[in-house]
Structure 1
Amino acid sequence: MKIIDILHLAYDYIRLDENDKVAEQNRALSDLNLQIEEGSFVCVLGHNGSGKSTLAKLLNGLNLPTEGTVFVGGMDTRREDQLWDIRRETGMVFQNPDNQIIGAVVEEDVAFGPENIGVPTAELWERVNRALEAVKMGAYRLKSPNRLSGGQKQRVAIAGTMAMLPRCIVLDEPTAMLDPSGRAEVIRTVEELNRTAGITIILITHYMEETVRADRLLVMDNGHLVMDGSPRQIFSEVQRLKAYRMDVPAVTELAWRLHRSGMPLTVPVLTREELVDALRGLLPKQTEFEPDFVKRAPKHEEITDPILRVEGLSQVYQQGTAMESHALRQLSFSVQRGSITAIIGHTGSGKSTLVQHLNGLLRGTEGRILVRFREPIPAGASGFSDIYAKDFPMKELRFKVGLVFQYPEYQLFEIDVLRDVMFGPKNQGFSEAAAKERAEEALRMVGLPEELWQKSPFELSGGEKRRAAIAGVLAMKPEILILDEPTAGLDPAGREDMFRQIESLHRQEGMTILLISHSMDDVARYAEQVLVLDQGELRMSGTPEEVFRRYRELETMGLGAPQMTYLVQELKEAGIRFESRPDTVEEAAEAILSLYRRAGGALLPDRDNGGDSESRKGKEGEPCSER
């Protein structure tokens, strides 16, 4: 039975001028026809601006069609008298949890929805308890949402929707701000709701690994539905997906690369288990073939020229009261000048709190923060300046240490993008012309097209806002750039673009970059140094290779390792060993192909014409349908 029936749907975003006349009209969805069966698990994929979030808002009447019809449980979203029932049927979880959290404490917020639809008190609190435990937020039930991290707020928003027990839940990037274990827990929870309660799940995501157990994948591009099929059908078309700015799961990408190089693998491969089974028959076991590898210790990052030194930093909130809580505990570390240093930790581990100390937004309860810039602020004999010294110029520090927050829209406020980016240099004392020159240079540096410079920053997409916010910091020419989850909510190609910009800044400007990320794959690929926080304490530090070797410890902290780290471990358990532990798809492909060659396997030149028909269609099923 259909729960969603969409017929010839179109939606336009309209901007009015000061006289309420149409100044701009953009079509976000065009002639969309789609049916979703009740009880199914459907994932919607697409690049930023493809129409995914617009579609989500049309499913419960937050937006109404410009053309066409949306039926939910047989009810027409255009009928005002049916909207209340439609919204009871279709729960929404948004990308930014601040858009839907309203309670003074967590349990009140989760109870708000069921209370408003008249759920009896005893059942209401049973629902609240069940929902909070499902998202691992039971311990925070009496906390104010304002004191939670971004990821913790997202869990509360999901719990509030779960407590409503709707027939359908639409989740718009619900795990974008969660740590790896939180992300896995939320996906397990929605899968369980789908499987045991028969709730229809419509999941919008940019994490391809979250989609492999779905019944159906829908791929959007510029307002059109362009691919529709099972995960195996969709992920068989790797290059077509990449053309739509999409990606595939890491193991799917690895198997595809190996297949293109001539290894006799059946593609697509969706899970690590499938790939291990396939490679078990192609690669030699240790007892059969001893590679002439020399065991080596992992690389180590030496701190020879620190730009930043933190000594014994602690942060205690509401000290001396019954509500006393420790956000940071005796942190000590140094950051190498010109490095990309990643800060990782579970949601609420203290990452965002820490970086707000580094440019003086917060002051530690104990400890010191020392900096040593190329253009020095007056320093002591060691060349370091203590930012807590009485005469330290805190305004200068904020020009030297630029911070881009989790939600870049919170940093944008001017009437157009160019003026917004000019604000920092003007605040530094530069003339209008010099500030404009710096702003234009920064906007080009982050790749924001010139046609957007005169637009309001609030008209930009999420990825464009993030670039504008970064440009606003870069225009002040900081020596340290702090990026708090810079790629959250970006499509795969957008993530790649963002990291290319980050690497370019690092390489060309010699800028020191501190990167907060929940993506272990991104950390493995781009970082040179990793700091691991847990409950406000520094538990590990070292290179990605050093840190990810201890992946079992990371798991106990709510983290994990890159997909390739787990794959190599599972191959090791199957008797297949490598000289080192590859943490990226590229490293894993190189290691596997090298072992295959050593065992006498024949390889073909890389088929960069897109692969043969097998790599495009796969061995199983027909190609996915097109719209």
Structure 2
Amino acid sequence: MKIIDVRNLSYDYVRRDENDKVVEKSRALSDLNLTIEEGSFVCILGHNGSGKSTFAKLLDGLELPAEGTVLVSGRDTREEEALWEIRKETGMVFQNPDNQIIASVVEEDVGFGPENIGVPTPEIWKRVDRALETVQMTAYRLKSPNRLSGGQKQRVAIAGTMAMLPRCIVLDEPTAMLDPSGRAEVLRTIQDLNRREKVSIILITHYMEETVNADRILVIDEGRLVMDGNPREVFREIERLKSYRMDVPELTELAWRLKRGGMPLPDGILTREELLRELKHCLPAGKVEEPPLPEHREITDPILRISHLSHIYQKGTAMESYALRDLNCEIQRGSITAIIGHTGSGKSTFVQHLNGLLEATEGEIFVNFREKLPLLPEEKRFLFFRLRRERKRPEGEEISIETEGFDRKALRFKVGLVFQYPEYQLFETDVLRDVMFGPKNEGFSDEEAEEMAKEALRRVGLPEEIWEKSPFEISGGQKRRAAIAGVLAMRPEVLILDEPTAGLDPAGREDLFRQIDELHRVEGMTILLVSHSMDDVARYAEQVLVLSKGELKMSGSPEEIFSHIEALEEMGLGAPQMSYLIRDMRRAGYALPGRPDTVEEAAEAILSAYREGERNA
């Protein structure tokens, strides 16, 4: 039985001026035709701006077709009297649960939807009980949502949708901002809803690994349906997917690389278990020797030094809690350093201390910039007369930002921070003016600020036709780049990126990391990367700091950190996909060189073992 029936669907975004005259029209979806069976698990893939989220809103009647028809359980979304029933049957879960949770207590939030549609009170509580039990959040029913982790908040959002007794739930990037543990929680929850409750699931995601257990995958490109099949069928066509700015699960890509390297493997491998089963026929078993860890990389030139840093929220109240506790570490100048940890581990609190947005409860942060800005009052006495800055600190001498009179505003020009949600950082009438704001605030003229802004926009790859648009009219990926450009325009020595690729499609992630890598290589900029993607950390970072419950638990190279898989899992984290595969291969008796953490490294190691076996056969 069909729960969704889409016929010749098209949708246009229309921009009007103050006189309600149409000044711009762009087609988001074009002539879409598809059906979705009740009780199925369907994933929708597509690059940023492909039309996925627009399609999701059309299914719930939040947007209405420009042309064509959307039928939900046989009801037409264009018929106003049908919308009430459609929205009761089709629940929406958005990327950021904070945009969906409104009550101060979990059980009240879950009961809000049923109460809003007139469900009697005794029935509301029955629904709340069942929904919380279904998502395994009963123990948290009297908690404030503000005290929950990202994964727990997302489960509360799903419970609130479940309490409406929907036949279908549409989830738009629900795991984009979650740590590995939270992502696994949410994925288990929606799979259980599909299997046990027979709820139809429509999942929009950029994480290819989340799709391998789906019944069906739909790929949308430029508003058109371009691929439709089960995961094995879709992921066989790797090069075609890449042409749509998409990717495949890392294990699928590894198998593809191994096959191209000469190993007899089938197409469309999806899971670690499948790949291990196939590798048994290709690789010789041998003596397994754990390779030595690389030598610990010493910090020889710290640009930042953190000493006994602690931060207490709501100090002196009954809600007092440690966000950071006695942190000690150093950041090597010119490095890419990743900061990882579960949601609520203290990562964002930590980086907001580094550019002076938060003040330490205890401890100190020392900075040592190459360009010696006047950061203390006595260093600024000649600035009034526009004379040369007089350096009061010897070359190479660090200074604590807790020093009395320290200029935190000046610090922010040298330590730039791009927040997790870039839309919170953009505010001007057009993109160019937004990027100019920092240099103008630093004291540069309009002409100088404009030139600095244009240079920064070019460096992040934003084309000139975007510069005069409102920052609120551009795509999520473009907002991310505009926010980064706004920080780069101030020419910082340290760039902090808090989840910079969350919500970006695979090609967008690669583009952004290419630009980050260029800033690091060409300009020697120090990059601090806060990330929940262990695969990105393995690929790009040189140093890794691991936070858990506000404490620094580990630090070292990616190879060192990801050799402790079980300890990372206990902290709500994980390891790159390749680290798990190599661990399982060694347990099965396969000797492999090195400690590969990326697809490229793993392919090289496995092909080396395969060729060695062929030579010795």
TM-score range normalised by the length of the shorter chain: over 0.9
Structure 1 alignment gaps of length 5 or more: 603-627
Alignment-mate amino acid for residue 347 of structure 2: K
Distance 2:242 2:38 in 1: 30
After TM superposition, list the pairs within 5 Å mapping 1:491-510 onto structure 2. 491-510=505-524
The Cα of 1:162 is off from its aligned counterpart by: 2.9
The Cα of 1:159 is off from its aligned counterpart by: 3.1
Q: Specify the SS of the correspondent of 1:203.
A: strand
- Show the counterpart of 2:101: 101
Q: Specify the SS of the correspondent of 1:183.
A: helix
Distance 1:168 1:255 in 2: 35
Q: Specify the SS of the correspondent of 2:176.
A: coil
Does the Cα contact within 8 Å between 2:305 and 2:365 map onto a contact in 1?
yes
Alignment-mate amino acid for residue 160 of structure 2: G
The Cα of 1:601 is off from its aligned counterpart by: 6.0
The Cα of 1:131 is off from its aligned counterpart by: 4.4
Q: 1:501 to 1:518 in 2, by over 3 A?
A: same
Please, which of 430, 437, 445 is the counterpart of residue 423 of structure 1? 437
Distance 2:242 2:303 in 1: 39
Judge which range, 122-131 or 163-172, deviates more: 122-131
Q: Specify the SS of the correspondent of 1:296.
A: coil
Distance 2:344 2:574 in 1: 16
Note if 1:248 corresponds to 2:248: yes
- Show the counterpart of 2:385: none
- Aligned-pair identity (%): 73
After TM superposition, list the pairs within 5 Å mapping 1:221-260 onto structure 2. 221-260=221-260
Does the Cα contact within 8 Å between 2:89 and 2:164 map onto a contact in 1?
no
The Cα of 1:177 is off from its aligned counterpart by: 0.4
Note if 1:555 corresponds to 2:569: yes
Q: Specify the SS of the correspondent of 2:202.
A: strand
Q: Specify the SS of the correspondent of 1:285.
A: coil
- Show the counterpart of 2:386: none
- Show the counterpart of 1:329: 325
Structure 2 alignment gaps of length 5 or more: 377-391
Alignment-mate amino acid for residue 314 of structure 1: S
Distance 2:369 2:207 in 1: 38
Q: Specify the SS of the correspondent of 2:614.
A: coil
Judge which range, 102-111 or 70-79, deviates more: 102-111
Does the Cα contact within 8 Å between 1:299 and 1:545 map onto a contact in 2?
no
- Show the counterpart of 1:310: 306
Residues 370-396 of structure 1: CA distance to partner in whole angstroms, max 9, x if unpaired? Answer: 111111245877711111111101110
Distance 2:40 2:538 in 1: 35
Does the Cα contact within 8 Å between 2:309 and 2:325 map onto a contact in 1?
yes
| TM-score, structure 1 normalization | 0.92
Q: Specify the SS of the correspondent of 1:458.
A: coil
Note if 1:161 corresponds to 2:175: no
Distance 2:239 2:513 in 1: 21
Note if 1:575 corresponds to 2:589: yes
Note if 1:436 corresponds to 2:450: yes
Note if 1:393 corresponds to 2:389: no
Distance 2:337 2:84 in 1: 49
- Show the counterpart of 2:345: 349
Distance 1:295 1:88 in 2: 57
- Show the counterpart of 1:89: 89
- Show the counterpart of 1:622: none
The Cα of 1:106 is off from its aligned counterpart by: 3.4
Q: Specify the SS of the correspondent of 1:539.
A: strand
The Cα of 1:111 is off from its aligned counterpart by: 2.2
Alignment-mate amino acid for residue 446 of structure 2: E
Q: Specify the SS of the correspondent of 2:36.
A: strand
Does the Cα contact within 8 Å between 1:315 and 1:326 map onto a contact in 2?
yes
Judge which range, 382-391 or 60-69, deviates more: 382-391
Note if 1:469 corresponds to 2:483: yes
Alignment-mate amino acid for residue 166 of structure 2: P
Does the Cα contact within 8 Å between 1:170 and 1:203 map onto a contact in 2?
yes
Residues 93-129 of structure 1: CA distance to partner in whole angstroms, max 9, x if unpaired? Answer: 1123333222233332222112223445455445445
Does the Cα contact within 8 Å between 1:152 and 1:347 map onto a contact in 2?
no
Alignment-mate amino acid for residue 352 of structure 1: S
Does the Cα contact within 8 Å between 2:432 and 2:468 map onto a contact in 1?
yes
Residues 479-531 of structure 1: CA distance to partner in whole angstroms, max 9, x if unpaired? Answer: 11110100000000000001001101111111111111110000000000111
- Show the counterpart of 2:11: 11
Distance 1:318 1:509 in 2: 40
Distance 1:328 1:313 in 2: 7
The Cα of 1:137 is off from its aligned counterpart by: 5.6
Residues 239-287 of structure 1: CA distance to partner in whole angstroms, max 9, x if unpaired? Answer: 0000000000000000000111111111110000000011111111015
- Show the counterpart of 1:28: 28
- Show the counterpart of 2:78: 78
Does the Cα contact within 8 Å between 1:152 and 1:348 map onto a contact in 2?
no
Q: 1:523 to 1:125 in 2, by over 3 A?
A: farther
Q: Specify the SS of the correspondent of 1:95.
A: coil
- Show the counterpart of 1:366: 362
Distance 1:315 1:134 in 2: 36
Q: 1:220 to 1:353 in 2, by over 3 A?
A: same
Residues 285-328 of structure 1: CA distance to partner in whole angstroms, max 9, x if unpaired? Answer: 015xx8xx894322422111001111111111122222111111
Q: 1:484 to 1:138 in 2, by over 3 A?
A: farther
Does the Cα contact within 8 Å between 1:154 and 1:177 map onto a contact in 2?
no
The Cα of 1:362 is off from its aligned counterpart by: 1.1
Q: Specify the SS of the correspondent of 1:174.
A: coil
Higher relative contact order (CA 8 A, sep 6+): 1
Distance 2:163 2:595 in 1: 43
Alignment-mate amino acid for residue 66 of structure 1: A
Residues 402-459 of structure 1: CA distance to partner in whole angstroms, max 9, x if unpaired? Answer: 1111110011111100000000000000011100010000000000011100101101
Note if 1:456 corresponds to 2:470: yes
The Cα of 1:138 is off from its aligned counterpart by: 5.7
Distance 1:366 1:143 in 2: 29
Q: 1:284 to 1:145 in 2, by over 3 A?
A: same
Q: 1:294 to 1:206 in 2, by over 3 A?
A: closer
After TM superposition, list the pairs within 5 Å mapping 1:57-68 onto structure 2. 57-68=57-68
Distance 1:504 1:301 in 2: 22
The Cα of 1:583 is off from its aligned counterpart by: 0.4
Alignment-mate amino acid for residue 205 of structure 1: T
Alignment-mate amino acid for residue 422 of structure 1: M
The Cα of 1:143 is off from its aligned counterpart by: 5.0
- Show the counterpart of 1:528: 542
Q: 1:128 to 1:324 in 2, by over 3 A?
A: farther
The Cα of 1:361 is off from its aligned counterpart by: 1.1
Distance 2:468 2:518 in 1: 25
- Show the counterpart of 1:610: none
Residues 316-354 of structure 1: CA distance to partner in whole angstroms, max 9, x if unpaired? Answer: 112222211111111111100111111111111111111
Q: 1:261 to 1:546 in 2, by over 3 A?
A: same
The Cα of 1:133 is off from its aligned counterpart by: 6.1
- Show the counterpart of 2:608: 594
- Show the counterpart of 1:270: 270
Does the Cα contact within 8 Å between 1:524 and 1:584 map onto a contact in 2?
yes
| TM-score, structure 2 normalization | 0.94
Does the Cα contact within 8 Å between 2:336 and 2:528 map onto a contact in 1?
yes
Distance 1:78 1:429 in 2: 54
* CA RMSD across the alignment: 2.0
Note if 1:540 corresponds to 2:540: no
Distance 1:122 1:294 in 2: 60
Distance 2:114 2:74 in 1: 23
Alignment-mate amino acid for residue 442 of structure 1: A
Aligned length: 599
Distance 2:125 2:294 in 1: 51
